[in-house]
Structures are given as structure tokens and as C-alpha cells.
Amino acid sequence: MACHHIIALAALLAAMPAAPAAESVPADAVWSLSLPAGENIDFRGQVNFDKAGQGPGAMLYPTLGLAGFVVALAAHAAVVKGQIKEQRSEIEADADRILVPFRKTLDTFSYGELAERAFPAASGVPWIGSGARPQSGWLIASSPVFYMTQDQSALIIDNTVAVFQAGSEQPLYTNTVRVVSRAVEVENEAVFWQRNGGQHLREVTAALYRTSVEIVRAHALAPIASSAGAQRTFRYLEGKNEAVERAEPISEQCGRALIRNLRGWLMSIPLKRGRAAAPECTAPAAPPAL
Amino acid sequence: MTFRWGLLLAVAAAFLAGCAAPPQAAVSMGYRPFAEPGLRIGIAMSTLPKVDTSFPGAEWPLCHAAAALANAKLTAHARTLPADDLASLKDDIAEVLKLKGQVPVVIDEPLVVDKLPKTGHTARNAVARDYSSLQSKYRLDKLLVVELTEVGISRPYSSYIPTGEPKGVVSGRFYMVNFTDPAYEWYLPLLQQKSAQGSWDEAPAFPGLSNAYFQAIEAARQAILQPLAN
């Protein structure tokens, strides 16, 4: 069983994309990272608001003159707004319930651990404190938010970043990068993620973060011009379910696509497995590629 | 006196509206409808509705005017959204049917269902309109019809107040007529509503809501194509 888990994790990590070497960045560029000031990482259940909102209705307002009508209208608006807000909170709370089995792990998963796992000392990408500025090179100030799909089979990161050159307070590049992991294929997803003190959950979370930062490093200084005419509808996998995004393709490799969505976010998404993977995609030693 | 007559007419209209025919309920796809190879299957589609916004619940003229004004930017943007993926649906259905060994016949002209004669059948799940003119013209064994009634962005209202965020919407119906049987061989009411992820109010391009619109289109397409392919 443990062997299966290791194989599943290896396959998952191998499928995680990493951006190709950042050719546009000067060879001597030094990168550093900053993360939010909070203690623990922001982890949520993936939420869907498709069923949110109330249906259409009709409201009869009392006819107490114009002033009465305005008051009635304002009261109606306030009530409806409160109901919508409450409903959204309930939907979010419901979505977070899938994280209950992992609460112990998540409550001890700090930004420091995330940075150390994603960029160990040997990587040459140091983590500096929140709000600090490096003496030289480039700083990626990032605010990652992680999600688990409702079927508990995949993780997602939305990493909002700002890239600063040392000595500058003006960001050279800001964007959000979303990376969606491929679904794990195991008997029990909760057991898989939580085994060994949440080892798998920590590793895949860190891998997602690393991948999102690598995408930023590759694209921040050489943004590819967008082309509205190239947009098409992509179908991909979020966990075991199909998801849809209207976007412009940037690259596709090893069953994953890098796309730019309508908001301009960069998204690395797992495509449905259509044909056998190329050898370079399955070789464990090979660097995972986009 | 005139007022009383008006009131009486309004009440009568309200009662009579309740007597309108109930909407056709879903009918599951018949058992292996494509088991016999080489059937000539027509694929027709009604005129694609204009991509637009709608505000259900704000039907009264003043309410509708207020909702239209409040959502003017959204409406202007919605009208620029393409619906190419729906326009190509007939060809996509034809591809699926070819893979199943059938002979798809794509009917180019838009189908105006309301102009077809009524069958008069009252039995449960009976086909409401007479499609025999298409059968004879194209020598069909069966007919697939896509009727889309709304494509765009919809925001629910309760009179003047929005009761939810706008969503991408595609609604209509899809059905299969077997000319040897007066009942629908398959009837699928379509209603796909998708919400924007994160904030929706991102004028002028509304990227989150635009994405939801494309998601609704794709969901409607797959609701038709996937059962056909299985």
C-alpha cells in the first residue's frame, strides 16, 4: 500500500509542470521570495457559486408616497444583500468542510515551511521576511492561496505575485498564476494526503508553489504578447471533474497546458490523457516540463 | 368603469395563463437508438438567439428599465460575446453520429418550430410539432433538434433589487424525433448557469463573467454531445 502511495506521489510530482529555464532573465539574476506575514498558509476548499443567489421574484412596495417607496426599496435591498452575503458565507463554509481531516496538518503548515520545502537553501532562491526588500536582484512578493478540490483528489494554487527590482518600490510585473495538480489515483484520498503527518499534502503543496514561482520567473521579464483572436475554450481536469476555461494557449507539453485566461492570469492545467505520454514526460529523472 | 374592466381583464389573463400547457418534461434517451447502423439522422437547429442579458423578476416596465440601466455596461459587453461554439454544434453532433455508424444530415436552414403544424397528439411525451416535411425533404429516419431560447448573461431580480449575481446562461431544449413513433425518443431540457469565479463586476471587459458565459456554452454542448457519444 505504501508503495502505491509513493508511486502515486511520484507520478503526481512528475506531472507537475516546471517552467523551462528563464532565458530572458540575465544569467546572474538573483531571485528572492517574500510571503505574507501570517503564520500559516491559506488553504481552502474549492468553492462553486453556480447555485448561489435567489431566484427571480416579485416585491410589492407600500405606497406611502415617494419617501415611503424609497425607504421600502432601501430596506428591501439591505435584506437581499444580507441574505446573499450569508448564503455565500455558507457555501464557503460548506466547501471548507472537506479540509476537516487535514486540519491538524494545515494548522502547523507555516509559510516558512512552504518556502523551505519549495526552495531549499541549495536552490539559491532565499526567502526573506514579509515586506523586506533585497539588496540586489529581483524579488517575487507572493500571496499564495491553496485549494483542495471537493473530491479531495487534487490541489490548486492561486499565487498572486508582484515582481520588484531591488531598490524599486514599483512592481515590474503583477499577475496571478494558477497551477492545478493532476488528480491522485488512490483508494482513499484523505488517507493519502494525511499519511505520515500530512507528508504528501505538504510536498504537493510546496511543488505547486514552486511551479507557480517558476512560471513567474519565466514569464515576468518576457511577457508574451496576448492575442485575443487566439482564444479558445479549454477543457481540463480539476480533480476528477472536467473544468472549462476560455483562454489563449501559450504552450502544451506532457499532458499539461500553459494558458492565459481572460483575466490575464497564467494557468498551468492538466489536460485529459489522450495518448501515451512521451518518454521524456514519464522518465522520473527528467525535469517535469510544461 | 374602464378601470374595473381593465382589472377584470387582468385577473382573467392571470387565471388563463395558469391554464397554459405545462412544459415538456425530460424524456430519457431510448434504448440504443443508434444500434441500427446507416440510419439517416437529420440535425436541425433553430435560429441562435442574440447574445444578450436578461433580468428575470424585473418584468414590469419600470423595474426592467431600472435593471437595464443598472446593467447597461454589462449588456453592452454581453452583446459582443461570440457564440461560435454553439453555431458549430450541428457539425459536432454530425461528427459524433458518424462515429456511431450513422448517416448525419445537417439541415442548413434554421428551423422555425412555431411555423410547423401542430400534431394534435395529447398523449404523454407526444411530439408537439409535425416534422414530416423535413422527413420527406431529406429522407430521414430520425431527427435531432436543438432549440436554444436564451444565450448570454442572466441576473435575477425581485422587482427593482437584484437577488443574485449575474451568471452565464444557455437555455433551451434538445430532442430526438423518431418518425415511426409519435412520442419523443429523447427530450432534454437545457439550462446551464455558471457563475464567475471571484468578482464578477469587472467592467468593461467582465473577464470572470465572460468566462462563466463560455463555461455555460460548453456545459450545454457537452450535455448534448456526451450522451450521444456514449
Would you say residue A10 has pLDDT above 60? no
**How far does the CA of residue A54 sit from the closest CA of chain B (Å)?**
5
- pLDDT tens readout for residues B29-77: 988 888 899 999 999 999 999 999 999 999 999 999 999 999 999 999 9
Q: How many residues does chain A have?
A: 290
Which chain A residues are Cβ-neighbours of B53 within 8 angstroms? none
Lowest mean pLDDT among A4-18, A184-198, B147-161: A4-18
Residue ranges of chain B whose CB lies within 8 Å of a chain A CB: 56-58, 85, 156-165, 167, 193-197, 202, 205, 207-208, 210-211, 214-215, 217-219, 222
Selected residue with higher pLDDT from B50 and A280: B50
Phi-psi region of A20 (alpha: psi -120 to 50; beta: other; left: phi over 0): beta
- pLDDT tens readout for residues B209-228: 999 999 999 999 999 999 99
Cβ contact B160–A73 (<8 Å):
yes
Residue of A nearest to B163 (CA): A54
Give residue B22's pLDDT: 78
Give residue B154's pLDDT: 98
Which chain A residues are Cβ-neighbours of B220 within 8 angstroms? none
Give residue A229's pLDDT: 64
**How far does the CA of residue A265 sit from the closest CA of chain B (Å)?**
11
Cβ contact B207–A262 (<8 Å):
yes
Average pLDDT of span A89-107: 96
Mean pLDDT for chain A?
A: 85
Residue of A nearest to B154 (CA): A56
As a whole number of angstroms, the distance between CA A290 and CA A180 comes to 12
Give residue A21's pLDDT: 38
- Residue B135's nearest CA partner among B145, B144, B143 is B143
Contact present, A41 and A102 (Cβ < 8 Å):
no
Which chain A residues are Cβ-neighbours of B163 within 8 angstroms? 53-57, 80, 84
What CA–CA distances, in Å, run from B37 to B15, B73, B136? 50, 51, 20
Which chain A residues are Cβ-neighbours of B208 within 8 angstroms? 262-263
Would you say residue A175 has pLDDT above 90? yes
Give residue B119's pLDDT: 92
Cβ contact B158–A50 (<8 Å):
no
Give residue A219's pLDDT: 86
Share of chain B above pLDDT 70, in %: 91
- Could you report the predicted ipTM of this complex, rounded to two decimals? 0.86
| Of B161, B205, B215, Cβ closest to residue A76 | B161
Most A CBs within 10 A among B160, B193, B206, B222, hence the mutation to make, goes to B160
Number of neighbours of residue A129 by Cβ within 10 angstroms: 9
Residue labelled with grid coordinates 455555460 = B216
| Of A53, A73, A77, Cβ closest to residue B156 | A53
Which chain A residues are Cβ-neighbours of B165 within 8 angstroms? 49, 52-53, 84
Task: Determine if the pTM surpasses 0.80.
Answer: yes
Average pLDDT of span A230-242: 94
What CA–CA distances, in Å, run from A1 to A8, A183, A186, B110, B117? 11, 18, 10, 58, 65
- pLDDT tens readout for residues A45-68: 999 999 888 777 777 777 678 888
Cβ contact A58–B163 (<8 Å):
no
- Contact residues, A window 2-61, toward B, CB-based 8 Å cutoff: 48-50, 52-61
Q: What is the DSSP string of B36-52?
A: STT-EEEEEEBPPPPPE
Would you say residue A285 has pLDDT above 50? no
